[in-house]
Amino acid sequence: MDRKEAFWHILYRYLWPFPYFRDVTQGSLLERQQNYRYNRRIGIHHLPGFMLKWACLTLFFFVLGNVCEELLEVVLPAACCFVTGTWTLTIAVQLTVAWLWLRRFPELGR
């Protein structure tokens, strides 16, 4: 029997990068340092792709909100698009900060 993965799970894995990282607050100092090195190695290369995805989503929702407001003259859907665009912008900023942090601090502090 061939089991297919649910669409929502695929979308979650495509957009949400945080499960791919390891917890650096648990374990001994050596384990925390190893986890930080792993996060740094993964994050520096893969976070820009996730940042681009969320930036595109942000742009999409703000453009859609603008279209709803200007061309269709409907306020509620436009407001929903702008709120969703703000949420996606928040995630894009979090990803950017995480990427900059991993690039700036090569080792975990003691």
How many CB atoms lie under 10 A from the CB of residue 56? 12
pLDDT at 61: 97
pLDDT at 73: 87
pLDDT at 105: 78
- In tens digits, what is the pLDDT along the chain, a chain of 110 residues? 557 889 999 999 999 999 999 998 999 999 998 999 999 999 989 999 999 999 999 999 999 999 999 998 889 999 999 999 999 999 999 999 999 988 887 776 54
How many CB atoms lie under 10 A from the CB of residue 46? 14
